[in-house]
Amino acid sequence: MHWFESQLAQLDTLADDYLSAQRQPAADIVNVSEVTRLKRAAFIDAVQALVDKVVKIKGVSACAAYHDGLILAQSAEASNMDAFGAIIQETIRAAQHGETSLDLGEIEQIVIVGAVNKLAMLSVGPIILCISSPKGVNLASVLSQAK
């Protein structure tokens, strides 16, 4: 497993921990709320850390993470976050319509390639991680070589 895959696996684990904490019985609401808050914070901190690392990779223009179209984490280099969010929301919605009818299963990734740039959208737990790069960059290659 290369660097980026291991980072995504860690995020998946943190997301599962957070979602499990949300499902705890509320017998001791104070402790359950605190555990949930800590798990959520750990997940969000890890998402921001990954976004910060990914944007430093040569060939990556911007990186951001969204939940239901709302920004959760972003790189300083990303200038049009609202446009990213809108594109992600609409693209994921359209893909989910084809999910069942095309027998694709749960959507894991979508890549939109334009004449100049491309945008990769990856499902990670409850978020969509977006990576923008120039069209000619092989994202799989640069992400697998990063450390």
What tokens does 29 get? Answer: 């609401």
Distance CA 119, CA 117 (A): 7
For residue 67, what pLDDT is reported? Answer: 83
- Among residues 76, 13, 54, the alpha carbon closest in space to that of 145 is found at 54
- For residue range 14-65, what is the model confidence (pLDDT) as tens digits? 989 888 877 776 666 666 688 888 998 999 999 999 999 999 999 999 999 9
Assigned CATH topology for domain 3-145 = Beta-Lactamase (3.30.450)
Q: What is the pLDDT of residues 71-87, one digit of tens each?
A: 888 886 666 777 777 88
Domain ranges of the chain: 3-145
Q: Are strands 109-113 and 70-74 parallel, antiparallel or unpaired?
A: unpaired
pTM of structure: 0.84
